[in-house]
């Protein structure tokens, strides 16, 4: 994946399960797993060519993720589905007299 697809991790709200992260100094890409409150860290799995490898995982703290990793940049402001609303007169619904 290209470097321009990744952005710095600024907030813990960016750390969602399934997000793709990459080390700042390395080209290896990981998929973010769930947060483990007992170990106080996130589980990350190696990710390559669209495949997540579940047989190996590492626990990484939030502080380490913010300082040594970048996250795949996703535009969350873009609507997924454009919907059009049509107004139906109340007389058609039988609600108005």
The residue ranges of every structural domain in the chain are 3-74
Percent of the chain predicted with pLDDT > 90 = 35
Q: Which residue has the higher pLDDT, 72 or 92?
A: 72
Q: Using an 8 Å Cβ cutoff, are 53 and 47 in contact?
A: yes
Q: What pLDDT does 87 receive?
A: 63
Q: For the residues 62-87, what does the mean pLDDT come to?
A: 74
What is the pLDDT, as a whole number, of residue 31?
A: 93
Band (pLDDT 50/70/90 cuts) for residue 58 is very high
Distance CA 1, CA 36 (A): 27
pLDDT(4) > 70: no
């Amino acid at each position: 994946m290209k470097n321009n697809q990744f952005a710095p991790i600024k907030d813990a709200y960016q750390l969602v399960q399934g997000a793709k992260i990459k080390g700042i100094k390395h080209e290896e890409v990981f998929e973010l797993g769930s947060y483990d409150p007992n170990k106080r860290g996130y589980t990350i799995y190696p990710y390559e060519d669209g495949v997540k490898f579940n047989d190996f995982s590492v626990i990484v703290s939030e502080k380490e993720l913010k300082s040594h990793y970048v996250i795949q940049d996703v535009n969350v402001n873009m609507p997924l589905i454009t919907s059009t609303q049509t107004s139906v007169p109340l007389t058609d619904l039988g609600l108005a007299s």
